Homo-oligomer: A and B are copies of this chain.
Amino acid sequence: MGLDALFSPRAVAVVGASNRELTIGYRIIENLLDFGYAGPIYPVNPKGGEIRGLKAYASILDTPDPVDVAHIVIRNKYVPACIEDCAKKGVKAVIVNTAGFREIGEEGAALEDQLVAIARKTGIRVFGPNCQGVINTDPAVRAYCNFTFTRPTPGHISIVAQSGGVGEVIHQRITELGVGARHYASNGNACDVSIPEIIQHYGADEQTKVIVVHIESLPDSRAFLEVATQVARRKPILAMKVGRTAEGAKAVSSHTGGMMKQDTAIELIFEKAGIVPFRNIEELCQSAIGFASQPIPVGNRVGMIANTGGPAIIATDELIENGMVMPPLSKQTESLLREKLYPEASINNPVDVLATAGPEHFAAAINALLADDGIDAVFLNFVTPFFVDTLGVAREIAEANRGSRKPIVATVMTEKKGWAETLDLIRNGGVPTYDMPETGAKVLASMGRYAALLKRPIEPPVSFSDTDAPRARSIIKAAGQAKKACLSADEGYDLLTCYGIPVAGYRTAGNVDECLAAADEIGYPVVLKVDAESVVHKTDSGGVVLDIHDREALRTQAEQMAARFAGASPRFLVQQQLPGGTGVSPVIQQEVIVGAKAVEGLGHAVMFGLGGIYIEVLKDVNFKITPVTAHEAREMIESLRAYPLLAGVRGQAGVNVAALAEIIQRVSQMLVDNPEIRELDINPLFAFQDGAKAADIRVLL
């Protein structure tokens, strides 16, 4: 594996080691020593001598063989030469803690480019620069190659964070909660070793049970998506995306661009990869603890046990609001509970065993729910009354957990000093405990969310074979060669036709007479549209006239339009007026929009929504990253708030949702084949009971 030497070095050197306590060059050596690093540590300092009791070497070249990792904490301009020396020495990876690279501007960026060049040339790996480093808590390694302050406990949570500050907050928090980390990495400017590589390394590490990711931006978005998709199928990845409210991406002239928030692409990548997303560090940490200690539920059906009602209500609210369900218990479970609990106990879901319930009651309730085929996970709300044998209850919880294949999550509400032993018994029994009902509920719901992600079909995108991809390529290429920023209307419709996307009948026309001839061929009523590269918002500028019923009206409108756009040397488009286009027809139809926007280094984000106010006012719109699978296309449609309007409301028949899903997938295939497309809007796409037809198209290159 590529990063083995980085995470499990046979020896570590620190170039720029120092005896001054408040320096990074001292702190790293101290951290390595304190944490009990298994290999030799070589301080490197031109003055030689001793640093914190270790022999210091004048140069990395003087250190004994082999050195796998070298920290570099000398001034930025000396770093490239130092890495050359390290490469000469046979060092496998350098951790460049030094700052003053890409983050300070052009000069630093040039320096950073030198590091990358050396890495490419020599094969040495560069971690950083401007970074913290890595930690491996494996008892056989204990490499604390970092200058942070958390003293880790070995465990099963592996962390990778773009921001060292946030990474340290996460690591500190899980440690404070008494839970162990496996690996830690924060790679700063990430000029060579990347976050996707680190995730891949964690994915292959058997002792890593859950991966925690913090990112602020994603330069390697396609690599990230591919690696994360593979890894997330085998173990949970929990990720935090920040910068949600940063000033939006600069305005673009299309709906798609306008609706796409700056961070939408990363949210979409998380979703496509099957990553569990978080908006909150605390919930991320608490959930990681749940994932690290409990199996994944096979579904979202929770059975709850409580010994007091109030917190159970709070946990129920939180579970339900986060996608879990609390089904009725089976008849068998009910009769079992009726037999074993107090007569006043409430035999529902939640089960209230009563405040006076002892170990035998808790044992009966937990085991009954674990045995109930209608329950996927057990949630405990345990307040520790002073008159109850809470140690006994704790023992029963731990005992029930042993060998259970369903997850158990517990909220234990207590005075932590007085009931420390009770808490320890439960935790040491492998059941994560939370202070607050809402916290435990959110954790279990995040496990349910991962279970749902795992259930998504693993399917390649549909490959439609009834397409004319070569012809589409030639349209795009020709437009590119002509340096067009925007396809003409008939090029756009042609493109759709190449991918089997139905289009409202149309003809292009150069003048009024050609318009009249076109309409005769198509049949009235028709729509008249201007077609000129310089006219972007046709409707707003009077470039679209609907509902033209005869030759006379068409002549008048065409003459007026020709005059209106005289300066733009316009052509015209005469198009079939689709039924329902004016809103008064009894034909069932909805205006929808399919749009797309290129995302650098990733592909395209495809958009779907209902037209008009649904997008503009209500912001009811969904995005997916190409290639869009059949499952994703349906999800895009069905998760709209306004979906009932497509499915049919109040007994009215709906439109053909399957046809819409197919069009989304065909558009996706077109985008994958033609990466030159920068933006695309099919607006409106008319959806009917028996299919759908594009009535306007705009393609920017």
Contact = CB atoms under 8 A, between A and B. Distances in A.
Contacts of A168: 383, 413
Contacts of A164: 308, 310
Nearest to A619: B641
Contacts of A383: 165, 168-169
A437 interface: yes
A320 B615 CA distance: 23
A162 B310 CA distance: 9
A645 B613 contact: yes
B616 A245 contact: no
A620 B614 CA distance: 13
Contact of A172 (B317, B386, B415, B649): B415
Interface string A157-176: 00001111111110011001
Contacts of A216: 310, 313
A611 interface: no
Interface in A247-289: 279-282
A583 to B, nearest CB: 6
A47 interface: no
A317 B438 contact: no
A166 B314 contact: yes
Contacts of A320: 245
A637 to B, nearest CB: 15
A163 B386 contact: no
A23 B387 contact: yes
Contacts of A23: 387
Nearest to A314: B242
A149 B649 contact: no
A52 to B, nearest CB: 15
Interface residues of A, number: 73
Contacts of A387: 22-24, 27
Contact of A437 (B244, B281, B321, B641): B281
Interface string A634-653: 00000001101100011000
Interface string A277-305: 00111100000000000000000000000
A616 B165 contact: no
A436 B279 CA distance: 12
Contact of A583 (B147, B281, B321, B584): B584
Contacts of A645: 613, 617
A403 interface: no
Given A168-B413, A243-B317, A383-B165, A617 B308 contact: no
B436 A310 contact: no
Contacts of A244: 317, 321
A435 interface: yes
A63 to B, nearest CB: 26
B150 A415 contact: yes
A39 interface: no
A549 interface: no
A147 B149 CA distance: 42
Nearest to A280: B438
Contact of A413 (B165, B214, B240, B540): B165
Given A617-B641, A617-B645, A618-B618, A413 B172 contact: yes
A413 B314 contact: no
Interface string A384-416: 101100000000000000000000000001111
A613 B642 contact: yes
A641 B166 CA distance: 35
A344 to B, nearest CB: 8
B386 A22 contact: yes
A436 B313 contact: no
A147 B386 CA distance: 9
Nearest to A321: B245
B649 A616 contact: yes
A435 B165 CA distance: 13
A176 B419 CA distance: 14
A626 interface: no
B243 A649 contact: no
A104 B344 CA distance: 9
A311 interface: yes
Given A168-B413, A169-B436, A281-B437, A163 B618 contact: no
A579 interface: no
B650 A616 contact: yes
A98 interface: no
A304 to B, nearest CB: 13
Nearest to A319: B245
Contacts of A435: 169, 173, 282
A137 interface: no
B316 A245 contact: yes
Interface in A457-511: none
B242 A165 contact: no
Contacts of A650: 540, 616
B642 A317 contact: no
Nearest to A176: B416
A580 interface: no
A439 interface: yes
19 contacts: A149-B386, A150-B415, A161-B310, A164-B308, A165-B311, A167-B310, A169-B436, A240-B314, A243-B313, A244-B317, A245-B320, A245-B321, A280-B436, A281-B437, A281-B438, A282-B435, A584-B584, A613-B644, A618-B620
Given A282-B439, A616-B649, 20 more contacts: A149-B418, A162-B310, A163-B309, A163-B313, A164-B308, A165-B310, A166-B310, A166-B311, A169-B437, A172-B413, A172-B415, A176-B416, A216-B310, A242-B310, A244-B317, A279-B317, A282-B436, A282-B438, A617-B644, A618-B620
